[in-house]
A and B are shown apart, each in its own frame.
Chain A
Amino acid sequence: MDIVRVEAYVDGSGAPLATITEPPFRLRLDPAELGEGIHVLTVVTEYRDGSSDQHRYVFDVTRKNHTFAGHISQAPLRAPIEVDLVDAVEIENPAPPSVFLYAVLPLILFLGVVAVSWWISLRAESRVADQPTKIESLARSVARVAPTAGAAADGAALYSKNCAGCHGAEGQGMGAVFPALAGNEALADAGYVVDIILEGKPGSSMPAFGDRLSDEEVAALAGYIRNSWGNGFGPVTAADVAARR
């Protein structure tokens, strides 16, 4: 860059502190000539093509020629400096700590927290039921199981709601974990199917539906799985279910 001239001004002064035309463009700034506090150094650079720009820098002058040891790492040392070996706040001699504030109050707080948790825990003993969080408004597809007594039981709908998650929408099952119902010979025995639906299969993840579904619904379900996806084992009636409850 073709710099022809650099002028340096300090603070509001109209006359430059220095005008330099040759590199290195260096100025000796003596804080002794400036007042304590904030100052502005303005550097105006002029280029050969006649253009120019200026930069402003803010700096601080302090008459302090000493610093805390913890600060000497902040800049390389260039001139003799006095070092405060102890941080000023460490020398202050405040009142000794109050026994009430730092020993009694902590003990009270400790016992307070312990007491509150005890109280909650004692109260909890009398609360046997949980309060379920209603998340339907947030939920997208959580199947909810509730008895729908009275309504005509629809086997297909009941199946997709209660069973398809494990046994598959087409009764195809899932690997070695959930048996396929399609083409499953065990379904030929109507009593077995009804028992399984009512009682589940303890020790496996097959749940019991006896408490949640009515006789009509169980019958509709049993009939549905026994006669879908190529199965043809015949219908099941509500009376058959009632007999096995």
Chain B
Amino acid sequence: MNAFALRQPKELFESQKLALWYFAVAVLLFGVQIIFGLLMAYQYIDPEFLYGKLSFMTNRTLHVNAMIVWLLVGLMGGVYWFLPLETGREVVGIKLAKFIWWVIVAGVGVVVLVYAFVQVGPGNAYTLWFINEGREYVEAPRWADFAIVAWVAIFLFNVIATTLAARRITGLLGVLIFDLVALGALYTAGMHYTVNVTMDQYLWWWVVHLWVEATWEVLVGVVMGWSLMYLLGTPRKLIETWLFLEVALVFGTGILGLGHHYFWIGTPEYWIGLGGFFSALEPLPLVAMVVHAVYDSGAHRLHTVNRPALFWAIAQAFGNFIGAGVWGFMQTLPQINMYSHGTQLAAAHGHFSFFGAYVGTVLTLVYIAVQNARKRVVVPLDSRLWPWAYGFLIFSIIGVVASFTISGFAQTMIERAELGSTWNAYITSYTHPWYTNTHWWRFWMGMLFLGAYVALVWDLLTIGRKPAAAVEAAHD
């Protein structure tokens, strides 16, 4: 195919330069996440490995929290990237945005160091404020929580003030503003501490579930809308029509779908019906997103300015539907969840959904930014390496997911359904070959994933770097 090296018409906006920092940190933390995943995968095989030095739970916490941070940073980077393009002006309050960004980077460093070296305290107010609140997925001391709320507040200010200053509101911006409000406010729900563990979990799920199954999903709708406009030239009317449909379905099903986490934590029983019904409908908007992406790409016959970004966008649509929709639906009915709850089926679904829905999105955004970060913009952006990184990342995460699915199935079947949740049942399932063999499988698939990650980073650093002359020569 012809490729053209085009001169950048003008400097990037300041907020786009900031976005490049967001993306760089995101991709770096992606690597950190993988390293800790591999350590854990190996500890499943050899529980003595690093025992007492770097425990499984430390690795797990770093694996999961690195993931949340890098995905959130990547999504926010996408907004900083597209916001000036959408409003036609520099982002208002960009100095403040840069300031809080470096505060957050330093803060994350301090939190990780404290976590690695101190980790536990006497379990009083001091611990909550300065060591850790012990909340899975959003593990931070309370001072860091306040820093994060300040960060989201400044981000929100950037978006709203820029929109008002541009004197222009679009459907995408309107959805973005209200979604960010919900995203930031829900974070504060995870900052309370109550003695009653049911009530504590009740609020904590607002962050975890209402983030990934409502507010993040809508944020993805917005940045993917911009991405498709960029990648394919899809007209705004089409994008916004789909977006409104998706937002209505996501919020309509996802908010009460929260109930699928309330089944067994000690909430009133009506949550069994509410959670079962609404969460079972949650895959609907994900189907809509697949239809949308496939329709757009097909209508444009895959003619795009950036091939890796378009392919990640398509992978995102399918990954979101299969990983979140299908693997989630599989265990969301209370009759099934009663047996599968807390088995590795949840981990299978966690890997598939986070990878499909959010890794795919962030990598789409990163490829778009990389294309434009150079002096000369190569169009269409393509390389020989990206399909390998793309293919092997997807293949190996499917391998990891398959191993968790099989071990989770063995647990559900043997420990729960057949032997009735006794200790004996627990040990029988944990020593069953369907359980133990998958540990190796998971580890080697993780190694392959690491290799593909290295290829991805290499590709991001080199794609579009060919001397312009050579690229231009290719066109005739």
Instruction: Report A's interface with B, CB cutoff 8 A.
Output: 68-74, 87, 89-90, 94, 96-97, 99, 102-103, 106-107, 109-114, 117-118, 120-121, 123-125, 127-135, 138-143, 164-166, 168, 174-175, 177-178, 205
Contacts and interface: CB of A to CB of B under 8 A. Distances in A.
B264 interface: yes
Given A68-B235, A102-B169, A106-B160, A117 B203 contact: yes
22 contacts: A74-B300, A89-B235, A96-B164, A97-B168, A97-B169, A106-B156, A106-B177, A106-B181, A113-B185, A121-B203, A124-B194, A124-B200, A127-B196, A127-B198, A128-B196, A131-B268, A133-B264, A138-B335, A142-B420, A143-B422, A168-B424, A175-B427
Contacts of A164: 422, 424
Interface of B: 156, 160, 163-164, 167-169, 174, 177-178, 181-182, 184-186, 188-189, 192, 194-200, 202-203, 206, 229, 232-237, 263-264, 266-269, 272, 299-301, 303, 334-335, 338, 417, 420-425, 427
Contacts of A111: 185
B48 to A, nearest CB: 15
B420 A106 contact: no
Contact of A96 (B168, B178, B417): B168
A109 B194 CA distance: 24
A97 B163 contact: yes
Contacts of A106: 156, 160, 177-178, 181
Contact of B181 (A97, A109, A127): A109
Contacts of A117: 188-189, 192, 203, 206
B149 to A, nearest CB: 9
Nearest to A75: B301
Contacts of B202: 120, 124
B330 to A, nearest CB: 17
A82 B454 CA distance: 46
Nearest to A117: B189
Contacts of B335: 138
Contacts of A103: 160, 164
A70 B235 contact: yes
Given A134-B269, A142-B420, A109 B199 contact: no
A74 B203 contact: no
Contact of A141 (B186, B264, B420): B420
Nearest to B334: A138
Contact of B423 (A68, A97, A134, A178): A178
A131 B266 contact: yes
Contacts of B189: 113-114, 117
Q: Is chain B's interface secondary structure helix, strand, loop, or mixed overall?
A: helix
B167 A110 contact: no
Contacts of B268: 131
A135 B236 contact: no
A72 B335 CA distance: 51
Contacts of B424: 164-166, 168, 174, 178
Contacts of B233: 68-73
Give the most central of A97, A127, A142: most B CB within 10 Å: A97
A113 B177 contact: no
Contacts of B188: 113-114, 117
A96 B87 CA distance: 12
B185 A109 contact: yes
Given A94-B169, A124-B199, A128-B195, 18 more contacts: A70-B234, A73-B232, A96-B167, A96-B168, A102-B177, A103-B164, A106-B177, A106-B178, A110-B181, A117-B206, A124-B203, A130-B197, A130-B198, A131-B267, A133-B267, A134-B269, A138-B335, A174-B423
A89 B194 CA distance: 51
Contacts of A96: 164, 167-169
Nearest to A113: B185
A62 B259 CA distance: 52
Given A97-B169, A120-B203, A131 B198 contact: yes
A68 B236 CA distance: 11
A205 B236 contact: no
Contacts of A94: 168-169
Contacts of B417: 140
Nearest to A134: B269
Contacts of B181: 106-107, 109-110
B184 A110 contact: yes
A154 B237 CA distance: 75
A174 B163 CA distance: 66
A7 B87 CA distance: 55
A140 B416 CA distance: 9
A97 B266 contact: no
A130 B196 contact: yes
Contacts of A134: 269
Contact of B163 (A102, A107, A133, A205): A102
A143 B424 CA distance: 13
Given A74-B300, A96-B169, A133 B425 contact: no
B301 A74 contact: yes
B232 A70 contact: yes
Contacts of B266: 130-133
B186 A113 contact: yes
A174 B188 CA distance: 46
Contacts of B234: 70
Nearest to A166: B423
B178 A109 contact: yes
A205 B233 CA distance: 62
A103 B164 CA distance: 9
Nearest to B171: A89
A72 B423 CA distance: 65
A204 B169 CA distance: 63
Nearest to A141: B420
B175 to A, nearest CB: 11
Contact of A174 (B184, B237, B421, B427): B427
Nearest to B149: A114
A108 B361 CA distance: 30
Contact of A114 (B185, B235, B303, B422): B185
A111 B125 CA distance: 25
A131 B201 CA distance: 13
